[in-house]
Amino acid sequence: MMNVSFNELQGLSRKAFIGIGFSDGHADDAADMVAWMESFDLHGLEALNAGLQHLMEEDPDTLPQILYQDGDLAVIDGQDLSVLRSSNLALELAFAKARARGLSVIKIRRCRQRQLIMGYLARLAGRGMNITAFWRNAQIPLTEQVVGFRANSSAPSIRVYSVEEVPEENEPNSGITIVMANHVDLLPTMRSDFRYDLLAKHEESDLMAVRDRAMVNGIEVEVSLWERLKVLAHMTLVASSAVSSRGAGEED
Amino acid sequence: MIELITEPAQLTPVLRPPALVMDLERLGSLNASRLSFARSLIRQMGRQRWHISCDRFELDALGHGQAIYRIQTPYGRYHAVIFSQRLDDSQRSDRVIANAWDVTFGLVEGDVEDALMTSLAENIPLQEAGRQHPRLLVISRANKSVRNFDVFVDALSKGSQPPVSLLKEAGYLYRTTAVYGNGKFGIADFGRLKENADFRRPFSAQMTAVYVLRQFSIAQVEHIARHRHAHSAVGLHIDLQRYLGIGNSTGLGMAPFLINHPQLINQWIHAREQALALAKMQIPSEEDRSQLLLLCRRAYHYFVETVVMDTHQTSRNAAVIEELSGVIAWLEQIAIEPDLWQQLTDWGEAALSLESQELLNALLIELYPAQVDVLEDAMGVDEKLDLTPDMPLVQLKQVIETHLDWALSEDFDDPVSCHWFWYRSVEKEEPRLGVRGAEDGVEKELSLAIAPRAQRTYRAISDYLEEHPRALTIEFLMAQPKFMDIIRRIQTMAATPYGEIRANLWHRDMKPIHLLRTKLSFLGANRFDPRSDRWVRVTFFQGAPLIDELNEEPADLSAFDDWSFPLMPSDSSGESAAQLATK
């Protein structure tokens, strides 16, 4: 393991995403999402690492498609892309609808690396939006995750739980559902008549303490992943030559 | 009878228009001002009674080894840790691609325990190639001005003072070649300093490290001189110590910062423009006029003494000297009227070069610390470029027409307008310029040039509106996501007057050195000495009070307030040129 700063992680990730073929804007957002997750110790790099190969094989020209929309609802086909590539504008669409109607619901179907979407939700929460996101992490056992942000809070509340009584309709679901509200708090509170096992519970204050520690001590990164990102980032650089060396100005 | 009550008119500072202020050549004519970070830092140090002491000074006879300086503020303790090593002349390069330097150093938050010192000693000398500790706020390196260094050691060891004229060309013994902060190579993120009362202002930690290096450079030459001839060696005269600064050599590496941080640039320029507008509003007294005359005369002599190698800068400085004479004559003759400063700047805009105009503005700001100095806390900003997805697309089109008219007027069909492309080299990611169509690498071009991107965006929006006249911004972006980052920038920056530098960075005649000087002036650099249109040497802290003077906690802090445009001390009489200039 090695220790890196938040800015360093964000910067190298951004260059790596550009190396993969992301546009500048999408690379900015994807890097923010990964670094944000990692600064809260929410395993952003682990998620990135697990999906990196698929990410590199995705067609950069494939775009998420709007399947349905009206004033306060939209259904998006994420085209089996990583949320690093497909979620930012879909979430901006939900944001615009919530601004206009007070509350919006957006469903992104067929998307990957859903954990990482939290980084962009944090950004929208920072712009004054209350948000809840829901998705199923696994089918067996059936595991669900709810993430809630209060407006203007930089940390979420997270609940992960497994459901004992599996409904009959239990098709694999790689989608994610997001609710945004201008004025109403949407933080998750567990309340159910059905049995469930709470697998993880992160409160805002705990996560803020984690982030503060990361800002002081830095962020631990696996050396092999760091090296992999450096290889990708290297693809943004231009080979040096005598001519290019003069491009920096004459030797001082 | 009805009594008419007229309330006194509420005067609002009138800021200069962005089209004037954000012109690249004008920005490339800025001088340091009292809002520059080096100046703010020295005022803060004096006001808050910072104490700086040398905790360790373990150098061999040649000056190689380690030194540690303790910095105690009312809120915290820090240490500047310095490593000095022998460097072969062939290895001495100011380019970012260098791998070794005469001196490397860092600023540590808190104490330096043995284990930390071991880690610092292993990594700081490696700079980019090292893995730096998260308690480091800054790392940096510097190369000797070999000629000055050797002459200084030689003279002091023989019991004499070095010739002061040497410092006219290079007013330092060391020049830094990069000063890193904000998380680079593992050091602390700037975000961690947001609540730090000592270093929350931009670049204040970096300037502190550079200021301490200045003290080290003095102590090191004296140390080597003593070791060379213990019986005859003398210390450096205090006037010469004060006249020594720290040099800096800056290349294209600094340029992307100016484009990639538009909100920060807006804060800096906005604060400076507010200061200027506030100064121009003041009703001058005879005392104010005398003080401005004093400042003009000092600046005049400073430019007379300044020697630079670049012929273009030499002629610019010559113009400043001639024009300052005119300004002095104007000020001496004109009657004092309430709008005297407005008259002065109006006349200056019509009659003076950009360099002289901006110099005069910087001097005018000096007169009103009570109004101006509060702005130094407005130099930072939380940077975030956000999309406004629900903005009607037709409104976005209007925003571009209003705020980026300068970009829309550029003819990108003309090859001259597309001459350069910016990229990063595999050699330490050094930013470079290539000629489009003639050099490799254009497919990896950095998107630094805002003008062509704004123009392409405008055309795409106009086409989309033909089919979708009521579309929102997000609908356009869902169809054409590649425009997301530039639209985010346009929407965010539309709320600010001064973030975008109005220049086509692709244009054949664009001078990158103007970008470098813009930032350097805000850092507090003086004595701009271009080595090409992409490379400049400058000096920091020349004339600033010394650490001993800081530690004395003087009741009179005027020396900490005003040390800009320092004049060369006299060689023999001990009477400084500054004193002579004011007689």
> Which domain CATH number covers A117?
3.30.1370
Q: Do B185 and A25 touch (CB under 8 A)?
A: no
Q: Do A239 and B390 touch (CB under 8 A)?
A: no
Domain locations along chain B: 36-251+545-554, 262-380, 393-493
Number of folded domains that form chain A: 1
Measured between CA atoms, the residue of chain A closest to residue B190 is: A7
Measured between CA atoms, the residue of chain A closest to residue B94 is: A252
Q: Do B478 and A66 touch (CB under 8 A)?
A: yes
**Distance from A238 to chain B by nearest Cα, in Å?**
5
Does residue B8 have a pLDDT over 60?
A: no
Whether residue B537 lies within 8 A of chain A, CB to CB, comes out as yes
**Mean pLDDT (whole number) for B126-150:** 95
Q: Do A126 and B384 touch (CB under 8 A)?
A: yes
Cα dihedral A43, A48, A50, A51, rounded to 10, equals 140
The predicted structure's pLDDT at residue B583: 38
Give the B window 370-429 contacts with A, CB below 8 Å: 384, 386-387, 389-390, 423-427, 429
Contacts of A208 in chain B (CB under 8 A): none
**Distance from A65 to chain B by nearest Cα, in Å?**
8
Q: Using CA atoms, how far apart are residues B182 and B190, in angstroms rounded to an integer?
A: 4
The predicted structure's pLDDT at residue B3: 55
Q: Which of A205, A180, A218 is nearest to A97 (CA)?
A: A180
The predicted structure's pLDDT at residue A184: 87
**Mean pLDDT (whole number) for A107-120:** 94
Q: Do A89 and B184 touch (CB under 8 A)?
A: no
Give tens-digit pLDDT for B58-109.
Answer: 999 999 999 999 999 999 999 999 999 999 999 998 887 789 999 999 999 9
Q: Do A251 and B482 touch (CB under 8 A)?
A: no
Whether residue B189 lies within 8 A of chain A, CB to CB, comes out as yes
B251, B425, B482 member nearest A238 (Cβ): B425
Q: How many CB pairs under 8 A join A and B?
A: 151
Q: Do A247 and B425 touch (CB under 8 A)?
A: yes
Give tens-digit pLDDT for B295-313.
Answer: 999 999 999 999 998 999 9
Give the B window 468-487 contacts with A, CB below 8 Å: 472, 474, 477-478, 481-486
The predicted structure's pLDDT at residue A91: 97
Q: Do A252 and B249 touch (CB under 8 A)?
A: yes
Contacts of B488 in chain A (CB under 8 A): 25
**Distance from B563 to chain A by nearest Cα, in Å?**
29
Asked if the structure places residue A248 within a domain, the reply is no
Which residues fall within 8 angstroms of residue B380, CB to CB, at 6 or more apart? B200, B201, B202, B264, B267
Whether residue B26 lies within 8 A of chain A, CB to CB, comes out as no
Q: Which of B103, B141, B133 is nearest to B115 (CA)?
A: B133
Whether residue B239 lies within 8 A of chain A, CB to CB, comes out as no
Which residues fall within 8 angstroms of residue A243, CB to CB, at 6 or more apart? B439
At residue B420 the predicted structure's pLDDT band, cuts being 50, 70 and 90, is very high
Asked if the structure places residue A110 within a domain, the reply is yes
Asked if the structure places residue A151 within a domain, the reply is yes
Does residue B579 have a pLDDT over 50?
A: no
A2, A7, A238 member nearest B426 (Cβ): A238
Contacts of B184 in chain A (CB under 8 A): 5, 7-8
The predicted structure's pLDDT at residue B194: 87
At residue B580 the predicted structure's pLDDT band, cuts being 50, 70 and 90, is very low
Contacts of B131 in chain A (CB under 8 A): 2-3
B186, B426, B472 member nearest A96 (Cβ): B472
Q: Using CA atoms, how far apart are residues B218 and B70, in angstroms rounded to an integer?
A: 17
> For residue B245, what are the β-bridge partners?
B172
Q: Do A250 and B532 touch (CB under 8 A)?
A: yes
Percentage with pLDDT > 70 across chain B: 96
Q: Is the peptide bond before A64 cis (omega within 30 degrees of 0)?
A: no
The predicted structure's pLDDT at residue A187: 82
Asked if the structure places residue A252 within a domain, the reply is no
**Mean pLDDT (whole number) for B437-452:** 95
Q: Using CA atoms, how far apart are residues B514 and B529, in angstroms rounded to an integer?
A: 12
Give the B window 279-338 contacts with A, CB below 8 Å: none
Cα torsion B110, B111, B116, B120: sign: positive
Give tens-digit pLDDT for A137-159.
Answer: 877 788 999 999 999 999 999 99
Does residue B577 have a pLDDT over 90?
A: no
A6, A89, A239 member nearest B426 (Cβ): A239
Does residue B456 have a pLDDT over 60?
A: yes
The predicted structure's pLDDT at residue B4: 54
Q: Do A6 and B183 touch (CB under 8 A)?
A: yes
**Mean pLDDT (whole number) for A102-129:** 95
Contacts of B423 in chain A (CB under 8 A): 237-238
The pair of structure tokens assigned to B454 is: 């704004």
The predicted structure's pLDDT at residue A194: 78
* Whether B92 contacts B144, CB under 8 Å: yes
Asked if the structure places residue A29 within a domain, the reply is yes
**Distance from B471 to chain A by nearest Cα, in Å?**
12
Q: Using CA atoms, how far apart are residues B52 and B72, in angstroms rounded to an integer?
A: 6
B188, B427, B478 member nearest A5 (Cβ): B188
* Whether B81 contacts B96, CB under 8 Å: no
Which residue do the tokens 């941080």 mark?
A: B261
Task: Decide which of A216 and B11 is more confident.
Answer: A216
A28, A63, A248 member nearest B251 (Cβ): A248
Q: Do B434 and A126 touch (CB under 8 A)?
A: no
Which stretch of DSSP H or E encloses residue B393? helix B393-403
**Mean pLDDT (whole number) for A33-58:** 93
* Whether B379 contacts B271, CB under 8 Å: yes
Q: Do A252 and B537 touch (CB under 8 A)?
A: yes
At residue B7 the predicted structure's pLDDT band, cuts being 50, 70 and 90, is low
Give the B window 72-131 contacts with A, CB below 8 Å: 93-95, 131
- Helix (H/G/I), strand (E/B), else coil: A80: strand
At residue B12 the predicted structure's pLDDT band, cuts being 50, 70 and 90, is confident
Q: Do A215 and B189 touch (CB under 8 A)?
A: yes
* Whether B189 contacts B165, CB under 8 Å: no
Does residue A178 have a pLDDT over 90?
A: yes
Q: Is the peptide bond before A141 cis (omega within 30 degrees of 0)?
A: yes
Q: Do B532 and A3 touch (CB under 8 A)?
A: no
Quote the mean pLDDT of chain A: 91
**Distance from A96 to chain B by nearest Cα, in Å?**
5
Whether residue B432 lies within 8 A of chain A, CB to CB, comes out as yes
Q: Using CA atoms, how far apart are residues B339 and A211, in angstroms rounded to an integer?
A: 53
* Whether A19 contacts A233, CB under 8 Å: yes
How is residue B309 annotated by DSSP?
A: S
What range defines the domain where residue A109 resides? Answer: 2-242
The predicted structure's pLDDT at residue B571: 65
Phi, psi of B419 (to 5 degrees): -60, -50
Residue ranges in B229-376 assigned as alpha helix (H): 238-243, 255-260, 262-281, 286-305, 311-333, 340-351, 354-366, 369-372
Q: Do A251 and B95 touch (CB under 8 A)?
A: yes
Asked if the structure places residue A250 within a domain, the reply is no
Does residue B365 have a pLDDT over 60?
A: yes
Quote the mean pLDDT of chain B: 94
Does residue A207 have a pLDDT over 60?
A: yes
Q: Do A218 and B426 touch (CB under 8 A)?
A: no
B134, B387, B534 member nearest A92 (Cβ): B387
Best residue in A14, A238, A245, A250 for a mutation probing chain B (most B CBs within 10 Å): A238
Q: Do B481 and A63 touch (CB under 8 A)?
A: yes
The predicted structure's pLDDT at residue B6: 54
